[in-house]
Homo-oligomer: A and B are copies of this chain.
């Protein structure tokens, strides 16, 4: 992995925003759009009207529907919906070298298998190095260049440092973690707790109850992280450097 070519696979809000950020960071970015109509629109208007409206996509970002074009990269960001990740990996299997690092921006648990995203990828592409990219981030704000801290989790510190360099900017700061499982459990389950918090408020139970759901939710997520071989403390972001 010598060059600075990044292929972003998936042009939802997050994929598009990450492509814009990688471009700002000086990387050579190709954004793969699955849907042909959307790809046509994006090439014409330089805007992702469907998922990230009103944000200008710089002309030096290559927008393509051809996955082979996007795969000709030094590192790939996988940003498709979580239930579509396995299909994408199967598509990649005979297209990419096993040394190409894969940055997983998709969050969640695969239906049926209950696998986390890295487990899905490893089951199809067992050799490629994996880095987890996880929030707390809203795509729109990252696209707008508002200050954003994020996490890159991998066992390979050198690789994370390289990817940090390819993505970082004054207003986009990736922190390093070595707990891939903990970060993924948090990314997959945080919105469950957020929904419970919303219900708590909707039911008029008050701020104390919401705070209880949040702290107890963190405790539960920590236990789940440990079951998956991660660390509970990662769920509180206290060990990211």
Contact = CB atoms under 8 A, between A and B. Distances in A.
A215 B219 CA distance: 16
Interface string A197-241: 000000001111101101110110010000000001101111110
Contacts of A207: 136, 138, 141
Interface of A: 135-138, 141-142, 144, 146-149, 173, 205-209, 211-212, 214-216, 218-219, 222, 232-233, 235-240
A208 B150 CA distance: 9
Interface centre among A211, A222, A238 (most CB of B within 10 A): A238
B138 A208 contact: yes
A208 B238 contact: no
A240 B146 CA distance: 35
Nearest to A151: B215
Given A147-B206, A236-B238, 20 more contacts: A136-B214, A138-B208, A141-B207, A141-B208, A142-B208, A147-B208, A147-B209, A147-B212, A148-B209, A149-B208, A149-B211, A149-B212, A149-B215, A173-B212, A215-B237, A218-B238, A219-B240, A222-B236, A232-B239, A235-B236
B146 A206 contact: yes
Contacts of A144: 206
5 contacts: A136-B207, A141-B208, A149-B208, A149-B215, A219-B237
A222 B235 CA distance: 13
Which 7 A/B pairs are nearest by Cβ-Cβ distance?
A: A236-B236, A149-B212, A136-B211, A215-B237, A146-B206, A148-B208, A147-B209
A233 B205 CA distance: 27
Contacts of A135: 208, 211
Nearest to A172: B208
A212 B173 CA distance: 9
A238 B225 CA distance: 12
Contacts of A239: 219, 232
B215 A136 contact: yes
Contacts of A146: 205-206, 208-209
